[in-house]
Homo-oligomer: A and B are copies of this chain.
Amino acid sequence: MRTLYHHPLCPFSRLVRVVLAEKKLEFDLQIEKFWERRSDFIALNSAGEVPVLVEEGGTALADAAAIAEYLDEVHREPPLLPADPLARAEVRRLVGWFGGKFHAEVTDNLVGEKVFKRLSTAHGEPDSRRIRAGYANIHEHLDYVVWLTERRAWLAGPVFTLADIAAAAQLSCVDYVGDVPWENHPGAKDWYVRVKSRPSFRALLADHLPGVPPPRHYADLDF
């Protein structure tokens, strides 16, 4: 059986979990406290980061986007990237946007400070300036989601793709800590409800981190 080393509130792990579920692939989940830098885990991924996917033969894959592209190449149905090169580039641009810009400006400031800093006590107290920056930055990103979905059925074009998964993976972590101002961005909420309603998202909505309960609306499909 393939094994995914992950953390429930790591957005990149969530991306891979949704890809595996969309492809209807079976896998074992193994929570990795990556901040402890366990040597057996470092041997799987020198970067010391989750997610890591270990395939049945024992091959370890790291980097969420690399894992997602690999799974999409090996298990074609349903395709999570379109066939046209320009359309694929648009999906990848958005995967890069949410994994890079959104993560740095929002997720890392909010989930990073509020959850991971507390878990890995070595890194000290949450930084209130970073938390405030996260609160401020998220609006621009939600506006961008609205802008995109006013022009397209899904973020990267007419069909659901890896771009939607990448964006929802980040937003779902921020939503877990109750920090997505959905009421100010109804268009973004409409899109998120559609993603959240997919069977592939179900396991994420059942996540429950001990000591860090999600807000009541987190798993609610009609929030």
Q: Does residue A21 face the partner (Cβ distance < 8 Å to B)?
A: no
Q: Is A62 an interface residue (CB 8 A)?
A: yes
Determine if A43 is an interface residue (Cβ-Cβ < 8 Å). Answer: no
- Asked whether A59 is an interface residue with its Cβ less than 8 Å from the other chain, the reply is yes
A117 within 8 A of B: no
Residue-wise, chain A 42-61 has the 8 Å CB interface mask toward B (1 for contact) of 00001100000000000101
Task: Tally chain A residues at the interface, Cβ within 8 Å.
Answer: 26
Partner of A69, one of B59, B73, B89: B89
Among residues 87 to 130 in chain A, which have CB atoms less than 8 Å away from a CB atom of chain B? 88-90, 92-93, 95-97, 100-101
Least CB distance from A91 to B in Å reads 8
By the criterion CB–CB under 8 Å, are B73 and A88 in contact?
A: yes
Whether the Cβ atoms of B66 and A96 lie closer than 8 Å is yes
Closest B residue to A84 by CB, please name it.
B73
Residues A93 and B74 in contact in the complex (CB < 8 Å), given A47-B101, A86-B59, A101-B47: no
> Which partner residue on chain B sits nearest A48 by CB separation?
B101
A167, chain B: closest CB distance, angstroms? 14
Contact of A97 (CB < 8 Å), options: B47, B85, B89, B95: B47
Asked if residues A88 and B69 are in contact (CB atoms below 8 Å), the reply is yes
Question: Do residues B73 and A85 form an inter-chain contact, with CB atoms below 8 A?
Answer: yes
Closest beta carbon of chain B to A127's beta carbon, Å: 15
Q: A46-B144, A101-B47 are in contact. Are A66 and B86 (CB under 8 A)?
A: no
Name the residue of chain B whose CB is nearest to the CB of A91.
B66
Q: Offer 26 A-B interface pairs, CB within 8 angstroms, sorted by A.
A: A46-B144, A47-B97, A47-B101, A61-B89, A61-B93, A62-B93, A63-B92, A63-B93, A63-B96, A65-B92, A66-B89, A66-B92, A66-B93, A66-B95, A66-B96, A67-B89, A69-B89, A69-B92, A70-B85, A70-B86, A70-B88, A70-B89, A70-B92, A73-B85, A74-B85, A100-B100
